[in-house]
Structure 1
């Protein structure tokens, strides 16, 4: 009797089959089975946020979720942000505002911010600061990360207003 399960994961808009043990984490499947190494392995206890991905547009610690739990969900990793070799607006903002240093925590912050801005597109600085406190960065001191997310929120709101009046 096999203790592995064949699952289909919808990751970054594509269906992927994986044969997994019930205890295998989403993080391990993303990195080892699907080769999506942008999702980083940090503490493996759900504390640092380096493994944050979006599951049905909600930020989730991939190290705390079993892959079998994600079978019917839409999963987005940091690889979903840029298209055709171009950075997303959020990635560009992180670069412009120096919101990354060593880069280890950056994918988790990007996915946390992407999910947060989808829910709160008009968030203010204090709301952003509170949201990013969920992830750990050992290099930047968060100020530049908050600046980058705030700039992205402002740009997106202006673009949305421009479209509404056009």
Structure 2
């Protein structure tokens, strides 16, 4: 009998015995990764946003056992070989965080946004003839709240990272 595993940041972990364990609790209690934050615990704030097979999802709403065979990427897995992701660099250069509580979720969501744009995945504003890039970013990031109000800097960081990624 093979053990059920969940791949997190490229490493396999045995799934918890309790099927009621959320991904967020699994990350905190079993894997000791604390980048994804427990904010509202209802999927409304986005502080727990992680990437599941490259798509953003709220870890507080997912049961760990549902993700068997999926690849989970947390904020701890965004950087590659000690090199920060372009969006992480842009967050630092744009001062796109204040208290930092939402930052990991914002960055994971922003990475998903960049992947969506690369794949030409439409958002709801794409169907409006006069949308701007910033409106598209706001729409795609709308599931991530920042109590400090650093939204302008977050949008700037996403734009910088998109341009830097396109240049590399």
* Fold shared, TM-score > 0.5 on shorter chain: yes
Match of 1:148 among 153, 157, 162: 157
Unaligned segments of structure 2, at least 5 residues: 121-131
Aligned length: 154
Q: 1:23, CA displacement in angstroms? A: 1.1
Give 2:40's aligned residue: 43
Alignment of 1:9-158 (within 5 A): 9-121=6-118, 124-158=133-167
What TM-score comes out, normalization by structure 1 length?
0.87
Q: 1:24, CA displacement in angstroms? A: 0.9
Q: 1:84, CA displacement in angstroms? A: 4.2
Which deviates further from its counterpart, 10-19 or 39-48? 10-19
Could you say what secondary structure the match of 1:20 adopts? coil
Structure 1 distance, partners of 2:163, 2:148, is 25
Structure 1 distance, partners of 2:77, 2:50, is 10
* Contact 1:7 1:20 survives alignment (8 Å): no
Unaligned segments of structure 1, at least 5 residues: 1-5, 160-166
Partner deviation per Cα, 1:46-74 (whole Å, 9 max, x = no partner) = 00000000011110000000001011111
* Contact 1:49 1:136 survives alignment (8 Å): yes
Structure 1 distance, partners of 2:86, 2:150, is 22
What TM-score comes out, normalization by structure 2 length?
0.86
Query: What is the root-mean-square deviation in Å for CA atoms of aligned residues?
Result: 1.6
Give 2:125's aligned residue: none
